[in-house]
Amino acid sequence: MLLEVSGLSVDYVLDRADVRAVDNVSFTLDRGEFLGIVGESGCGKSTLLFAIAQLLAPPARIAAGSVTFKGNNLVGLTDGQLASVRWRDMSVVMQSAMNALNPVKSIGAQFRDAMRAHGKTSRDEIGTRSAEVLRMVGIDQAHLGSFPHQLSGGMRQRAMIAMALLFTPDLVIMDEPTSALDVVAQRSLMVQIKELQRLLGFAIIFVTHDMSLVSHFSDRLMVMYAGQVAELGATRRVFDEPLHPYTRGLLEAFPSIRGPRVPLKGIPGNPPDLSVIPTGCRFHPRCPVVYEPCAEVAPELADKEGTLVRCLRYTEERSVPDDHAAATG
Amino acid sequence: MTTPLLRAEHLTRHFKIGGALSKRTLHAVDDVNFQIGQREIVALAGESGSGKSTIARLLARVYQPTSGQVYFSQGEEDPGTALSAMRSRRARLRYSSEVPMVFQDPFASINPVFRVSHGVLRSLKLHRPDLSAKERQAEAARVFGVVGLGADMLERYPHELSGGQRQRVGFAQALAGRARLILADEPVSMLDVSIRIGLLNLMATLRDTMGVSILYITHDIASARYVADRLIVMYAGQIAESGPIEEVLADPRHPYTQLLVSAVPDPRAPLSVDAETDIGEPPKVIDPTPGCRFRFRCPIAIDQCGTVTPELTQVSGREVACHVAQSGAEVKAFTS
């Protein structure tokens, strides 16, 4: 096991009250595994990533839980102690490569900075390794001298990924790395990420709001809603037999490019404001198959043949009616 | 055939780039012809840098065309007035109220220091000066109702609204000026997946009940298919393929359309690995030489593609700009 996140909760400490953005999240990640995390804006998925990478800054703080990476709990370590883990063993690819790269430094100089900061100082070694990782992501090494504005969006995103691979980490955390790209570039980048993973064997935590994007790439899928895990299971299974009504709603919210054109409803309402969390099940105000206890009883995660799901329909042994589509439609 | 609402003929927009002494020109939009009918949603699709947004800005008169012309019709009998002929302030105001824009980012396109009614009321004051203050309030409440927002929303501030609600405010502002063609530039791409469908449904409702036409600019082909009647696929400043959306997507004839369709992630279908080799880099259209602009990425390019720019011509119920498709051969560049 490479990573074990256990009971992790993150609070944003605000004047009025604390807002819990991530609530009691637990999961494990094996070496070489690809975990997709999906959810809407404000569901806590990015906060969770930042908490795992120990990148949270006030007012956010880890309120409870542990992040055990290669046997060490990272929660509570100082920046100095984390420095040996960061980049070498665990690296992060940020959402917007346009903003994450320094506009006044060449790509090569930024690679050099990262390597020096993490203990590699030999000029030759830095040069060879920089060229090597850039080639790995399909960019000519001539671009080491290029500035970010001289690269296209897709190339910048690739350069970011190359940078994350400088030290061949065991875990690469990606926060919507493809969201600024169009479909063709997006798919090409996903295929490349998967290929690099196969070659180098690192594990990936991949956060996205677009479920269909990871459908062919992730091993397991975690669906988050209002700071909690709504469903966690093998990706194929979640797509083929979604258990949680929210997962079903998300899947049905995508118009398809094939088959008949059917009217869709999406999910009614808006994702909840985390400072005013609904009572009982957090999804109940938007749920098409809500029933009496949902407003009062907060469901726990239940194991349903290997898939974890947070819905009273499963804990109370009352299955979700199959005419769910009719209920929404 | 009925008169199109808007007609673009040989629309071209070039930008000078690289400083005062540079002679380089970026061909953002090159010799583009298309029409938008009454009561029609036309999807304009293509990758970033293909000229989609430039077209929207040309239609909104934010940019002046380098050459070519856009004609806007005032009704069935009117063959259309050229945009360049709208010289009076009145004519231009009327055009901009009838052809408003809805922007991509609902968080940046509404002024955060005013209540959300502000934009609607200002638009009403400017474009419909005959209304009294009371009538303006009533009209603002009405357009809010049309887009599915309660009248109580008028007094809210933008930060109190969700992304989906803000984007509805954008459409309400457009409707306040009695819009006939809404230029919607990626109106749902920044919204959550579960909210997007609601906005797309709203666009369809505006078309069906109010008779508004919409130019829906997007790179999301699936959402385009959900809501649009016709599809125009742009590549590097030119139209690659256009036609009724169902027919184009069911059987795309241009290699680029095929690539685009094959790249749409579909969780219900197995991964198609065909286009893996395509790195998805859009070309920079700086001082282009004649020839098809897609030829560098096209697996079926022939000699002619390197010398002659393909014209957009009728091929089996749609228009395609591809030499191979026009020769009658079957195009199978990327399969989905």
Task: Dump pLDDT digits (tens) for A215-239.
Answer: 889 999 999 999 999 999 999 999 9
Size of interface A-B (CB pairs under 8 A): 130
Contacts of B194 in chain A (CB under 8 A): 40, 249-250, 253, 266-267, 271
Q: Choosing among A181, A182, A186, A195, which should be mutated to test the B contact, i.e. which has the most B CBs within 10 A?
A: A182
Q: pLDDT value at position B58? A: 95
Neighbour-count burial of A17, counting CB atoms closer than 10 A to its CB (0-12 exposed, 13-18 middle, 19+ buried):
exposed
Say yes or no for a CB contact (<8 Å) between A154 and B281. yes
Query: Does the beta-carbon distance from A184 to B192 stay under 8 Å?
Result: no
| The predicted structure's pLDDT at residue A112 | 92
Beta-carbon separation of A266 and B263 below 8 A: no
Q: CB of A283 within 8 A of CB of A226?
A: yes
CB contact under 8 A, B223 and A212: no
With H, G, I as helix, E, B as strand and everything else as coil, classify residue A47: helix
| Contact check, Cβ <8 Å, A185/B280 | yes
For residue B63, the model assigns a pLDDT of 92
Alpha helix stretches (DSSP H) within chain B: 52-59, 89-98, 117-127, 133-146, 163-176, 193-210, 221-227, 245-250, 255-263, 323-326
**B47/A188 Cβ within 8 A:** no
Q: Which residues of B touch A267 (CB under 8 A)?
A: 194-195
pLDDT for the residue numbered B282:
63
Burial label, A277 (beta-carbon count in 10 A; 0-12, 13-18, 19+): middle
State the pairing for strand pair A18-29/A34-38: unpaired
Res A122: pLDDT: 87
Q: Given an 8 Å threshold on Cβ–Cβ distance, is B276 in contact with A212?
A: no
Residues of chain B with pLDDT below 50 are 275
DSSP-assigned states of every residue in A229-258:
EEEEEEHHHHHHS--SHHHHHHHHTSPPSS
Sequence-separated contacts (24+) of B197-201 with Cβ below 8 Å: B197/A253, B197/A255, B197/A264, B197/A265, B197/A266, B197/B226, B198/A266, B198/B148, B198/B164, B199/B164, B199/B167, B199/B168, B200/A255, B200/B226, B200/B227, B201/A263, B201/A264, B201/A266, B201/B227
Nearest to A40 among B192, B220, B263 (CB): B192
pLDDT value at residue B60: 93
Which residues from B are below 8 Å from A when comparing CB atoms?
47-48, 162-165, 192-198, 200-201, 219-223, 225-226, 246, 249, 259-261, 263-271, 273, 275-276, 278-282
Provide the pLDDT for residue A211: 85
Nearest to B266 among A41, A253, A256 (CB): A256
Partner residue opposite B278 with nearest CB, options A152, A181, A188: A188
Task: Name the DSSP letter for residue A286.
Answer: G
* C-alpha B298: how far from chain center: 25
C-beta separation of A153 from A213 below 8 A: no
pLDDT < 70 regions, chain A: 97-98, 316-329
Q: Mutation target for B interface from A139, A158, A184, A286: give the one with most B CBs within 10 A.
A: A184
Of A138, A213, A264, nearest to B197 by CB-CB distance is A264
**Chain B residues near residue A247 by CB distance under 8 angstroms:** none
Q: Which residue of B has its CA nearest to A272?
A: B162
Amino acid B190: pLDDT: 80
What ipTM describes this predicted complex?
A: 0.79
Q: Write down the pLDDT at residue B64.
A: 93
Q: Do B263 and A187 touch (CB under 8 A)?
A: yes
| Nearest-CA distance A182 → chain B (Å) | 6
Query: Could you report the per-residue pLDDT of A142-180, keeping only the tens digit for each?
Result: 888 888 888 877 788 888 989 999 988 999 999 888 877
Give the best residue of B227, B234, B262, B268 to mutate against chain A (max A CB count within 10 A): B268
Residue A326's pLDDT is 43
